Each structure stands twice: as C-alpha cells, then as structure tokens.
Amino acid sequence: MLRKKILLIYTGGTVGMMQEKDGTLKLIDFANLKNELPEIEKLSCELHVHSFEQPLDSSNMMPQNWIELAILIEKNYYHFDGFVILHGSDTLSYTASALSFLLEYLHKPVILTGAQLSLGILRSDARENIIAAIEIASNPLYSLPEVCVYFGSKLYRGNRSTKISSESFNAFESPNYPTLVNVGVHMDFQLRHWLKANIANELKVHKKLCTDVAIFKYFPGAPLYWIESILLNPNIKGIVLETFGAGNLPNHLDFLKIIEKSIENGKILVNITQCLRGRVIQGRYETSKQLQKLGVISGHDMTTEAALTKLMFTLAQMDSIDAVKLIMQTDIRGELTQPY
C-alpha cells in the first residue's frame, strides 16, 4: 500500500515554538522538524512542510489569511492526500469554520491543531496533537472529507468546535455534535458522524468573504444607544445575535423597533444562543416569537464561530437578501442540525 502524502502547514502559534534554557521561546525550524520531533520518522506517511513566511499569532489571524490558506490548499490539493494545519488555539475554531465554507466539495482531510504549551516544554501537548493529527490525516483506510479540529485526544468537525478553556489540554469541545475520532490506545473512528464526500464534483475554492458583519451579545440592561450603534450601523450588512436560552431577547417596544428598523434597512439578523449547548427555537416563548415576526432568522445550533464565518461567506456569495436568509438556515457543511 502506497504511503499517503501529507502537507503540514505552519501558520504560527504556541505549537511551533521551542523553549530555550533561559525560558525564552523561539520558532522551530520547520525545514528540520524531525530534529525537534523525531517521532515523525515513525509515521507511515510522506510528510512535507510549508511554513508561513511571517508566522502569525492566532489573535492576528484575519479573513484574508483564511483565504490565503484556502488558496494554498487549492494549489497543493492534487499533490497531497491530506493537510494538517498548525495554528494558534485562540482563533483556531474561527479558521476551521471559515475553511469549511471556503472549501466546497472537499474530498480530503484538512485538520487544524495547536497546543497549550510549546513543543520544547516537558509536559507539552504539542507532540501528541501534531502526531495524532498527521496519523488521522494519513490513515490508509479512511479519508475524512472535511475540515476538522484535533485537540486533547479528540477530532471534532471544524465548524462545530469552540475553545472552552485557556488552561486545560482539553481546550476544545463540540457542544452540539459528536466527535469524529476518539484517540486512546486505539483510534476509534466514528464513521457514522462523518460527512459524505460528494465524489461527483471537484474541489471548488471560494475566495471572497464579506467582513461587514458584527456579533451582538445582549446583556440585561444594555443601553439603547449601544444597541442602535450596532444594529443600525449603515456599514454592517449582517449581525449574529447572541440571545438568551432558546433564542430570547427582551420584548420591550423600543428595542423591538430598533430590530425592525435594522431589518427594514436590509440587514440580516441571525439568532443563536449564548448557551454552550442547545439550539434556538424561535417561537417557543413570546420573547422569541416577536423576533420571528420581525424577520430575525434562526441560526439553530450553530456555534458563534460558525454563524459568523458562514455569514461572511454567504454575504459574499449571494446577490439577494432572501438567498442569504435561506442559506443561513440550511445545513451546507454539517454546521447545523436541520430541524425536523
């Protein structure tokens, strides 16, 4: 059986740093990665490495960098069997979600991983995360046709993942969707939860995102002038509303008038819950029924990261408001659970 070819892409972040004896951190020489991570010689794949010329802290990762990654994968797509992206953990779920939308008809694994501690630190999680991600991407029997996140012995669907801890090695979770692979003594491939590859179509890479978007997280007592500054901002085309519980906001008349005017001005308002788990069910309570009547659309059980990047993607692709609303409520990459 031929060994699979994997492209390891380093974008920046803690995972690619080594700690010197004096405690300072330095960037690994990825051209000689085996010197720092000799275990990779035991992997049954052909590994190639590409590093960003200017590695980025994940806090500096922007939409243009997501597009840069998508284009890099497009250029190398037919030369490799899978891709592992090393990325800072703070915005890793945003990047994974964005890539899931930019890479349409994906047939190969794209796995993002990172670390809480640098590779050179004795108890670092970087070693296990890197090796396991490469192992999954190069598995000789199964080829995972989606963008994923590997962290803390679990592989998650990328657009279902979110970072839940700044300290634990189990830093990520997939609140509303099962894990795709559980890693222990053996690798437990949960094939029934994987996306099905659309083999009838070739990879299509989208290269546009609309950044005229915002996240509005309501809190009790939020002043109207602050609400207006976001919902009525003329430069914003789409807004992710983070609401209470199953999609509830106050039914105060002044507040509802602002929402109504925002929608009349052509803005897309997407309702997702502030809760880690669960979904928006507009109309369950009177406080969400009013939102539904005004034209706020449900984001169902999407994460904030998925809802925001999908809104960026959809606004850039669709010409009409109705088309954007339809796609935002439709599962296109496994990012939401379609209601019965």
Is 91 designated active site? Answer: no
**Listed residue (119, 193, 175) closest to 303, CA to CA:** 175
Catalytic residue among 11, 14, 179, 304: 14
Q: Let me know: does 120 contact 26? Beta carbons within 8 Å.
A: no
The C-alpha atoms of residue 311 and residue 317 are separated, in whole angstroms, by 10
266 CB burial (10 A radius; 0-12, 13-18, 19+): exposed
Element (H, E) at 35: helix 33-36
Q: Let me know: does 132 contact 144? Beta carbons within 8 Å.
A: no
The C-alpha atoms of residue 57 and residue 14 are separated, in whole angstroms, by 8
Amino acid at 309: T
Half-sphere exposure of 322 (CA within 13 A, CB side): 0
Query: What secondary structure letter does DSSP report for 38?
Result: G
Q: Which residues are catalytic?
A: 14
